[in-house]
């Protein structure tokens, strides 16, 4: 496992360890492969496993988006997980291109009985059977899933509501089917898991601003990589591992009931939760801020999935919490790169694009900069305002031209994507560009322990 880093956030006997070994010759980024495996576990575990947090039941479903430029093997990475999950036959599979209406119908068609254990009024465990509607939605190109989302945000609203696994979801068919004037589909106990791939720029063109700056992207685990991890002309996967991976998913799918944290985990989580709530959320994008607000829920889900992958444990241990914090720390580092192309308003995306051009072409002239930005609709006066704002931020400087024919130029002098948290002056983990994986996770591991005041 040394090729993936020395201290990955799971044990050597975990299903994830086997999955990463199976995919070690793949060219996709480590984070693509790791979160593909975690999302597959999310689909396998189903609705019957949960954490009771007050009046809320937190379940393990994930919306995972593998994002990056064309040709960086994100789809190849996701397809491995989709193939293994499909072969396990433990959850219905969705269609790559669909509509809100078809997705609702597919969930309804997947309805099946499930049994699980929960406490009765006297605190005794008892078995319960009910209907649930599980579905794994894999999309090799997310923009196909969101084809009409800007004109009709129904699918975004649907995905946002379904994420929290309500007891039912009613969908009114009036207007969808001329032959039915009062028909309604009622999806019982939906459990939807999404794994999708896309170029962030394509998503920006497909999604309405409300989806990016609102609740949908905040519910997603966005994994970004600029390039492939390594070049392998002839990958040689060990196909003998595939049956064990499939059987492992079937064992996970048999889990049921409430997961319980150990006392140590409860104390550590309480300490982390309080400190996190009091810390400054200094972000440059409200979509990124939405992820920070949802991070406690993401942490709970990831802890549960790490425990499920490690021998189907129903008891959450400190290694699950530390591993989950390490994983989400990596996700936070990727957010600026993701949000650069998923800007919530055109002004922000244009400003980022202008800045990127200035970084890419040192001392670029004003005329050349306008040539490179006009296709985005940036006009002369807007370019002047954007450059003035970047200069006030301290990330570029203007080199004025003169009468001798020297043109006005721009030069980068700072990092637009870096910022500091006010509290204790510590650099935010989300300010770093997401180009590293777990190769440096030893120091991160020790940092997490230190932040929790735990012994190494």
Contact criterion met (CB below 8 Å) for 355 and 396: yes
Within a domain: 41: yes
Domain boundary among 292, 309, 341: 341
Out of 301-315, 328-342, 349-363, pick the least confident: 328-342
Environment class of residue 406 by beta-carbon count within 10 Å: exposed (0-12), middle (13-18) or buried (19+)? exposed
What was the pLDDT predicted at 7?
A: 59
Same domain, 183 and 263: yes
Averaged pLDDT for residues 37-45: 97
Same domain, 312 and 374: no
What was the pLDDT predicted at 423?
A: 38
Task: State the CB neighbour count (10 A cutoff) for residue 413.
Answer: 12
Report the relative pairing of strands 56-59 and 49-53 from DSSP bridges.
antiparallel
Round to whole Å and give the CA distance between 60 and 43: 8
- Check whether 438 has a pLDDT greater than 60: no
What was the pLDDT predicted at 310?
A: 96
Domain boundary among 308, 341, 374: 341
Q: What is the DSSP letter of 426?
A: P
Averaged pLDDT for residues 262-285: 78
Round to whole Å and give the CA distance between 241 and 401: 65
Half-sphere exposure (Cβ direction) of 334: Cα atoms closer than 13 Å: 26
- Check whether 287 has a pLDDT greater than 70: no
- Check whether 179 has a pLDDT greater than 70: no
Within a domain: 452: no
R_g over Cα of the chain: 24
Same domain, 352 and 332: no
Same domain, 147 and 179: yes
pLDDT tens across 344-356, in order? 445 567 888 899 8
What was the pLDDT predicted at 199?
A: 85
How does the average pLDDT of the chain come out, rounded? Answer: 81
Q: What is the DSSP letter of 439?
A: G
Contact criterion met (CB below 8 Å) for 156 and 140: no
Same domain, 286 and 388: no
What was the pLDDT predicted at 125?
A: 63
Distances (CA, A) of 133 to 190, 196, 358: 5, 20, 50
What was the pLDDT predicted at 8?
A: 78
Within a domain: 356: yes
Same domain, 378 and 337: no
Tokens of 390: 């970047």
What was the pLDDT predicted at 403?
A: 67
Tell me the CATH number at 104.
Answer: 3.40.50
Within a domain: 104: yes
- Check whether 149 has a pLDDT greater than 90: no
Within a domain: 263: yes
What was the pLDDT predicted at 45?
A: 96
Same domain, 334 and 354: no
Same domain, 254 and 286: yes
Round to whole Å and give the CA distance between 73 and 225: 10
- Check whether 180 has a pLDDT greater than 60: no
What was the pLDDT predicted at 43?
A: 97
Contact criterion met (CB below 8 Å) for 413 and 395: yes
226: nearest Cα among 337, 302, 366? 337
What was the pLDDT predicted at 104?
A: 86
Averaged pLDDT for residues 106-127: 74
Three-class SS of residue 55?
Answer: coil
Round to whole Å and give the CA distance between 380 and 352: 16
- Check whether 77 has a pLDDT greater than 80: yes
What was the pLDDT predicted at 126?
A: 67
More confident residue, 243 or 97: 243
Provide the residue range defining the domain that includes 68: 2-341
- Check whether 182 has a pLDDT greater than 70: no
Within a domain: 437: no
- Check whether 286 has a pLDDT greater than 80: no
107: nearest Cα among 132, 146, 135, 139? 135
Within a domain: 441: no
Three-class SS of residue 239?
Answer: helix
pLDDT tens across 392-410, in order? 999 999 998 876 678 899 9
Within a domain: 52: yes
Round to whole Å and give the CA distance between 223 and 143: 16
Distances (CA, A) of 207 to 8, 154, 337: 34, 11, 17
Overall number of domains in the chain: 2
What was the pLDDT predicted at 117?
A: 60
Same domain, 371 and 257: no
Same domain, 366 and 275: no
CA 126 from chain center: how many Å?
35
What was the pLDDT predicted at 344?
A: 47
Tell me the CATH number at 405.
Answer: 1.10.10.10
Out of 122-126, 129-133, 413-417, pick the least confident: 122-126
More confident residue, 87 or 114: 87
More confident residue, 326 or 203: 326
- The model's confidence at residue 261, banded by pLDDT at 50, 70 and 90, is very high
- Check whether 6 has a pLDDT greater than 60: no
Q: For helices 263-278 and 318-341, give the axis angle rounded to 10 degrees.
A: 30
- Secondary structure element (H or E) that encloses residue 381, with its range: helix 380-392
Same domain, 124 and 266: yes
Rounded to 5 degrees, φ, ψ at 173 are -90, 0
Averaged pLDDT for residues 403-427: 68
Domain boundary among 315, 341, 367: 341
- Check whether 177 has a pLDDT greater than 90: no
Same domain, 337 and 351: no
Contact criterion met (CB below 8 Å) for 285 and 343: yes
Mention every residue, 6+ apart, whose C-beta is less than 8 A from residue 335.
Answer: 222, 285, 288, 291, 430, 434
Round to whole Å and give the CA distance between 395 and 351: 12
pLDDT tens across 204-257, in order? 777 776 666 557 888 999 999 988 888 888 888 899 999 999 999 999 999 989
Please measure the distance between the N-terminal and C-terminal CA atoms of the chain and give it in whole angstroms: 22
């Amino acid at each position: 496992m040394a090729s993936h880093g020395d201290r990955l956030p799971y044990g050597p006997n975990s299903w994830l360890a086997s999955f990463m070994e199976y995919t070690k010759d793949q060219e996709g980024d480590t984070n693509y492969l790791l979160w593909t495996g975690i999302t597959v576990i999310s689909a396998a575990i189903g609705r019957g496993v949960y954490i009771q947090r007050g009046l809320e039941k937190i379940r393990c479903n994930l919306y995972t988006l593998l994002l990056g430029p064309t040709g960086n093997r994100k789809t190849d990475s996701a397809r491995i997980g989709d193939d293994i999950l499909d072969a396990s036959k433990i959850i219905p599979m969705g269609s790559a291109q669909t509509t809100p209406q078809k997705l609702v119908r597919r969930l309804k068609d997947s309805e099946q009985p499930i049994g699980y254990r929960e406490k009765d009024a006297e605190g005794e465990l008892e078995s319960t059977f009910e209907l649930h509607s599980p579905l794994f939605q894999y999309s090799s190109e997310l923009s196909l899933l969101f084809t009409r989302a800007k004109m009709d945000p129904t699918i975004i609203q649907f995905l946002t509501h379904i994420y929290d696994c309500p007891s039912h979801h009613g969908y009114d068919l009036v207007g969808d089917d001329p032959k039915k004037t009062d028909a309604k589909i009622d999806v019982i106990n939906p459990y939807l898991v999404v794994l999708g791939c896309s170029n962030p720029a394509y998503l920006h063109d497909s999604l309405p601003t409300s989806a990016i700056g609102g609740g949908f992207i905040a519910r997603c685990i966005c994994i970004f990589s600029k390039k492939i991890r390594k070049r392998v002309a002839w990958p040689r996967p060990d196909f003998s591992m595939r049956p064990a991976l499939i059987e492992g998913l079937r064992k996970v799918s048999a889990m049921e009931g409430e997961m319980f944290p150990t006392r140590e985990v409860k104390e550590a989580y309480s300490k982390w939760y309080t400190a996190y709530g009091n810390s400054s959320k200094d972000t440059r994008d409200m979509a990124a801020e939405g992820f920070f607000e949802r991070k406690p829920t993401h942490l709970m889900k990831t802890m549960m999935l790490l425990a499920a992958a490690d021998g189907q444990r129903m008891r959450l241990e400190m290694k699950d919490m530390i591993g989950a914090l390490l994983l989400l720390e990596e996700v936070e580092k990727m957010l600026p790169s993701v949000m650069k192309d998923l800007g919530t308003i055109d002004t922000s995306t244009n400003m980022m694009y202008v800045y990127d051009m200035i970084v890419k072409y040192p001392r670029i002239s004003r005329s050349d900069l306008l040539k490179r930005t006009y296709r985005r609709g940036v006009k002369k006066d807007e370019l002047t305002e954007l450059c003035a704002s970047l200069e006030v931020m301290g990330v570029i400087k203007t080199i004025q031209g003169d009468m001798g024919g020297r043109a006005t130029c721009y030069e980068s002098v700072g990092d637009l994507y870096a910022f500091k948290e006010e509290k204790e002056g510590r650099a935010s983990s989300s300010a770093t560009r997401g180009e590293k994986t777990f190769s440096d996770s030893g120091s991160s591991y020790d940092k997490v322990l230190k932040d929790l005041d735990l012994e190494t």
